[in-house]
Amino acid sequence: MPAENEAVVAFSRQAWADYQYWVQNDRKVAERVARIVADCVRQPFAGIGNPEPLKHELAGYWSRRITKEHRFVYKVENGRCIVVQCRYHY
């Protein structure tokens, strides 16, 4: 478990590739993803992007809107935000 006030975020390989895509192709979306990551650390289940729990095979994961088309998908475990996707729809 992270120390108090220690923000811990982990990206899956796919999520990091997604983020790098945004950095190279659409800075505005990359900045939105960065804001969502920061918000996810502060308040994992509330805040920007309309956080909502996913169901069925993705139960335990949460989703936030990046754009109309793209979603930020993550899971919170032991106080850590684990990002699994930040491009496309789940």
Active site (catalytic) residues: 52, 89
Q: How far apart are CA 4 and CA 53, in angstroms?
A: 25
Beta-carbon-side half-sphere exposure of residue 28 (alpha carbons within 13 Å)? 1
Which whole-number Å values give the CA distances from 26 to 20, 30, 32, 39, 51, in the listed order?
A: 10, 6, 10, 20, 22
